[in-house]
Amino acid sequence: MSCFKSLKTTLLLLFFLVSNFVHAQNESNIPSKDSIVVSVLTCGLGTSEVFQAFGHTAIRVKNYTAGNDIVYNYGMFDFYEDGFLKKFIQGKLLYFVGVERFDEFIGEYIMYGRSIREQILNLDSLQIQSISVTLANNALPENRYYLYDFIYNNCSTQPRDLIRSAIGKGFHFAHLSSENSETIREMIDRHMKYNEWLDFGIDLLLGLRLDKKADSDTRMFLPYELMVEFDSTQYHGQAIVKDSRILYQGFEQSISDFPSPDIVFWSILFVLILFQIFYSNSVANKIISTFFLTLSGLVGWILILMWWGTDHYMTKWNLNLLWAMPLYFPVVFFLSKSNILRNLARLYRVVLIVLLVFWYLNPQQYHSAVIPILFILIWSLSVVSYKNVKPK
C-alpha cells in the first residue's frame, strides 16, 4: 500500500513539473524577467491531521533574475520543542514563519491530495519590494516567532495584514454580503463535515466568544475566505488579483467511518431507556449514573482549566459549564450521605430541563450531540438523588 502511495505521489509530482514547464514557456512574453512576482497560495483542507482541517495560506515570492522561488508559511510549529504539550495547552506556544522552496511546498500538498490555488497580485515595484523585505525580515531567527491565536493571529491573518500594510493606507478589502451573516462558530461548522468529532471538541472547548458575528476582517481567519476577499477587491479601480490559476486540483477528502457524536450519544440514551424498562435494578442504575456524572464533572474541570488556567482567548466564558458541572465530581460520591446534596441534585435537574426547553435562546450555540447528553444527565441525577431504593 505504501509503495502504491509513493508511486502515485511520484507521478503527481512529474505531472506538476511538466505542467509547470509548459506554463513557464507561456510566461516568455513577460516584458521584464528582472521583476519579482508576489502571489497568495490557498491550500485546501486535509483530514490526516487536526491542524489541516481549515486549509492554509502562504505567500509565494518568485524572483526571475535571481532564479529564486520561495514560499513563506506563517503558523508553523515544532512538535519536538521542549515542553510543547504544556505550552500548547496553556496558549503560550510560539509559532513561527517557515521558509521553503516552492517545489518542496507543492510536493507536500500533492502528497496529501490537497488542492492549491494561486492568486498573482497586481502590485507595483515599491509594493513588491516592501512585501519581499518584510517577509525576509520576519523570517530572521530573531523575528520569526510570534504568539498564535486561532482566530485573530493565524496563518491566514498574518499574510493578510502584511500585504494590506505593504499596499498602503488607501487599500481596503471589499465588503461582501457575507459579512455579519454568520457567527465564527457557524463558519467553523461549515468546514467540519469531514470530522464531526473535531467539531464536537471545538464546540465543547471554545466558549461564548465564538458566537460573535464575523465581520469582514474576522472572516478572513479562514484561508478560503481570504481568497474570496482578494478575488473581490479592487485598488485604484483595478482588481488586486492580476491572475489566478489552479496549481493542483486535490481530491475530495474522505469522511470518517466512525459514528458521529450525535449517533453515539443518542444510542447510549436509547440503551439506557431499554435498561431502565427491562432491568430496573437500582444498584446497577446508580453505578451507571454515577459514571456519567463523574465523566461530565471531569469534562467540567477541563473547561475550568481552559478558562482560568490558559491564555487562550476563545476558551473563556464557556457556557458548556452549565451542563458539564465540575462539582458532579466528587460530590456524586457523597449524595447517599446528605439530604442537602440530594435536594441540590434534584434542583439541578431543573437547570438541565431549562437548557433543553430554551435551547435556541442560549447565547452560546451547543453542539447538537449535547441534547442526548442532557437527557442522560437528567436521568442520572434522577437516579442518584433518591435514597437507597431496594432492588426488585
Which residue, 369, 356, 385, is CA-closest to 285? 385
Q: Please compute the mean of the pLDDT values over residues 253-265 and round it to a whole number.
A: 86
Share of the chain above pLDDT 90, in %: 65
pLDDT at residue number 25: 40
Is 80 exceeded by the pLDDT of residue 44? yes
pLDDT band at 191 (very low <50, low <70, confident <90, very high): confident
* Dist. CA 89–CA 82, nearest whole Å: 13
pLDDT at residue number 48: 67
pLDDT band at 204 (very low <50, low <70, confident <90, very high): very high
| Residue whose C-alpha cell is 464546540 | 203
Share of the chain above pLDDT 70, in %: 89
pTM for the predicted model, two decimal places: 0.84
**pLDDT tens-digit readout, 346-388:** 999 999 999 999 999 999 999 999 999 999 999 999 998 876 5
SS3 per-residue string spanning 25-77: HHHHHCCCCCCEEEEEEEECCCCCCHHHCCCEEEEEEEECCCCEEEEEEEEEC
Per-chain mean pLDDT for the chain: 87
* Dist. CA 199–CA 191, nearest whole Å: 9
Is 90 exceeded by the pLDDT of residue 12? no
Is 60 exceeded by the pLDDT of residue 33? no
* Dist. CA 373–CA 266, nearest whole Å: 8
Is 50 exceeded by the pLDDT of residue 316? yes
pLDDT band at 28 (very low <50, low <70, confident <90, very high): very low
**For residue 341, which amino acid is it?**
L
Q: Tell me the domains of the chain and their CATH numbers.
A: 2-28+35-179+215-248 (3.90.1720), 261-384 (no CATH)
Residue 216 buriedness (CB in 10 A; 0-12 / 13-18 / 19+): middle
CB within 8 Å of 50: residues ≥ 6 apart: 198
| Residue whose C-alpha cell is 498573482 | 120
* Dist. CA 329–CA 332, nearest whole Å: 6
Q: Please compute the mean of the pLDDT values over residues 261-265 and round it to a whole number.
A: 96
Is 60 exceeded by the pLDDT of residue 280? yes
Whether 98 contacts 32, CB under 8 Å: no
pLDDT at residue number 326: 96
